[in-house]
């Protein structure tokens, strides 16, 4: 007996297919149908060819499945700025939604993208930042417009920049660290600034991980909880402190917030931000911390304690070194490795996802290489003694 066809409301199938398209996108849906033996022979929607750059920009920032929606808030701010700049370059005002009807397909060519990335005056780091944005942008808005081969060609011909020349390690010597710590004690909010430097040095955390609260600090076990990098909803993870950093942190919290225990509940006390400019109500901004550190570094450069140019023997010339808050993280890693700490432990302490990120810190100072060579067994031998090792001279 033949099966009776269920009496379905009109357009139910179309509605369900449209829901799947909205949820997974056309490319993914076609792949899944292909695994079931269903081939899509109909040409892609010709309306996609008419999508404007302005429409694509709004889609990138507003579509719930766009790359933009999956990154951290700090990255979202950067992506939005890059979207605005990209539109402006081609005569489209993103903020006022004023468009010259520039089609997306018209700007997604190696030549046009190359012109955008090679604008005069752009620093190499800025070009790389823009190229990374464009890869995410194209992946989110052009999958129904360009083939996989075309996207790969754009990545290869226009968005694949040459790797930068290796830079010297942006870390401080022990003498420079001591000088910066001393300088910080002469600034406004000296104890707070002094403690910030100690925490950067004694944990290796990033500047945007300094936004922790009193409840995130465990002085007995010597760790703090910070928001991990790389996620939109960042989970808090442990970062361990050296004994020196733990002691400075303890003194600072007691001096700054001890009196709050008499007026706040335990819950409100624990919610106070450790580094703040308004009695713990909000965290000190990245910019405020960076400006404070930059002021210390600039003073050290003026007093010739820090040189902002170093000799690069590989290039045979002096190169400029840009010191910043991140230099304390470099210092933490470099001195940890120099002390003999296992690189995999350093990786975990820094919160790196891959060991490759940690390996960049193997680029030590020249004097550290020399000290390491002095520990080599051959360094303790006279030339005539080498003959006993079977080494011909």
**Could you report the per-residue pLDDT of 55-86, keeping only the tens digit for each?**
888 888 888 777 787 777 777 888 899 999 99
List, for residues 294-341, the tens digit of each pLDDT value.
Answer: 999 999 999 999 988 776 655 566 777 889 999 999 999 988 888 888
Q: Find which of 44-53, 126-135, 150-159 is predicted with most confidence, using mean pLDDT.
A: 126-135
Q: Is the pLDDT of residue 192 over 90?
A: yes
pLDDT at residue 72, rounded to an integer: 75
Q: Are 179 and 218 in contact (CB under 8 A)?
A: no
Rounded to two decimals, the pTM is 0.58
Q: Are 240 and 179 in contact (CB under 8 A)?
A: no
Q: How far apart are CA 66 and CA 62, in angstroms?
A: 8
Rounded to the nearest 10 degrees, how much is the dihedral formed by the CA atoms of 225, 230, 232, 233?
-30
Neighbours of 162 (CB within 10 A): 6
Of the listed ranges 2-6, 237-241, 285-289, the one predicted with least confidence: 2-6
pLDDT at residue 93, rounded to an integer: 86
Q: How far apart are CA 103 and CA 1, in angstroms?
A: 56
Q: Is the pLDDT of residue 1 over 50?
A: no
Of the listed ranges 119-123, 189-193, 269-273, the one predicted with least confidence: 119-123
pLDDT at residue 309, rounded to an integer: 78
Q: How far apart are CA 358 and CA 329, in angstroms?
A: 11
Average confidence (pLDDT) over 175-184: 95
pLDDT at residue 2, rounded to an integer: 46
Q: Report which of residues 197 and 167 the model is more confident about.
A: 197
Average confidence (pLDDT) over 99-110: 81
- The DSSP output letter for 239 is E
Percent pLDDT > 70 in the chain is 74
Which residue's entry shows tokens 């400029």?
320
- The DSSP output letter for 383 is G
Nearest to 124 by CA among 288, 297, 351, 320: 320
Q: Report which of residues 369 and 195 the model is more confident about.
A: 195
Q: Is the pLDDT of residue 165 over 60?
A: no
Q: Is 310 helix (H, G, I), strand (E, B) or coil?
A: strand
Which residue's entry shows tokens 């993208």?
113
Q: How far apart are CA 182 and CA 194, in angstroms?
A: 8
Of the listed ranges 69-78, 97-106, 154-163, 264-273, the one predicted with least confidence: 154-163
Long-range pairs, 282-287, Cβ under 8 A, ≥24: 283/210, 283/211, 284/210, 284/211, 286/207, 286/208
Q: Are 314 and 304 in contact (CB under 8 A)?
A: no
Q: Is the pLDDT of residue 21 over 70?
A: no
Residue 329 CB contacts under 8 Å (≥ 6 apart), including other chains: 200, 204, 205, 206, 350
State how far the alpha carbon of 183 is from the alpha carbons of 77, 177, 179, 180, 199, in Å: 33, 10, 6, 5, 16
Mean pLDDT of the chain: 80
Q: Is the pLDDT of residue 393 over 50?
A: no
Q: Report which of residues 263 and 381 the model is more confident about.
A: 263
pLDDT at residue 167, rounded to an integer: 56
Q: Report which of residues 297 and 110 the model is more confident about.
A: 297
Of the listed ranges 30-34, 261-265, 339-343, the one predicted with least confidence: 30-34
Burial 82-121 (b: 16+ CB within 10 A, else e): bbbebbeebebebeeeebeebebbebbeeeebeebbeeee
Q: Are 261 and 178 in contact (CB under 8 A)?
A: no
List, for residues 212-248, the tens digit of each pLDDT value.
Answer: 999 999 999 999 999 877 555 567 899 999 999 999 9
Diameter over CA atoms, the chain: 102
pLDDT at residue 46, rounded to an integer: 41
Average confidence (pLDDT) over 368-390: 57
Average confidence (pLDDT) over 162-170: 58
């Amino acid at each position: 007996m033949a099966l009776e066809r269920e009496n379905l409301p009109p357009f139910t199938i179309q509605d369900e297919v449209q829901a799947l398209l909205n949820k997974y996108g056309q490319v993914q849906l076609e792949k899944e149908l292909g695994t079931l033996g269903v081939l899509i022979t109909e040409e892609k929607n010709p309306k996609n060819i008419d999508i404007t750059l302005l429409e694509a920009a709004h889609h990138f920032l507003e579509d719930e499945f766009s790359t933009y929606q999956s990154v951290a808030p700090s990255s979202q701010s950067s992506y939005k700025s890059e979207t605005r700049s990209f539109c402006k370059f081609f005569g489209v005002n993103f903020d006022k939604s004023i468009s010259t009807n520039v089609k997306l397909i018209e700007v997604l060519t190696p030549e046009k993208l190359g012109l955008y990335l090679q604008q005069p005056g752009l620093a190499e780091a800025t070009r790389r930042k823009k190229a990374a944005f464009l890869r995410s942008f194209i992946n989110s808005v052009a999958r129904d417009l360009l083939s996989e081969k075309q996207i790969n060609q754009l990545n290869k011909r226009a968005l694949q920049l040459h790797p930068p020349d290796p830079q010297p390690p942006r870390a401080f010597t022990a003498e420079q660290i001591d000088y910066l710590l001393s300088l910080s004690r002469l600034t406004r909010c000296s104890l707070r600034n002094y403690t910030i430097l100690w925490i950067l040095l004694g944990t290796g955390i990033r500047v945007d991980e300094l936004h922790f609260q009193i409840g995130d600090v465990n002085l007995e076990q010597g760790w703090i909880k910070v928001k991990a990098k790389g996620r939109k909803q960042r989970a808090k993870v442990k970062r361990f402190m050296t004994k020196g950093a733990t002691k400075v942190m303890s003194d600072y919290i007691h001096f700054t917030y001890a009196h709050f225990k008499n007026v706040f509940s335990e819950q409100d006390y624990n919610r106070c931000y450790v580094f703040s400019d308004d009695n713990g109500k909000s965290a000190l901004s990245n910019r405020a911390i960076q400006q404070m550190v930059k002021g210390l570094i600039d003073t050290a450069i003026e007093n010739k304690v820090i040189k902002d140019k170093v000799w690069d023997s590989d290039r045979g010339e002096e190169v400029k070194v840009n010191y910043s808050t991140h230099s304390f993280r470099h210092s933490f890693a470099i001195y940890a490795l120099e002390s003999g700490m296992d690189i995999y432990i350093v990786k975990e302490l820094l919160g790196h996802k891959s060991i490759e990120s940690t390996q960049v810190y193997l680029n030590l100072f020249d004097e550290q290489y020399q000290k390491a060579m002095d520990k080599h067994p051959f360094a303790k031998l006279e030339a005539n003694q080498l003959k006993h090792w079977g080494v011909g001279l």
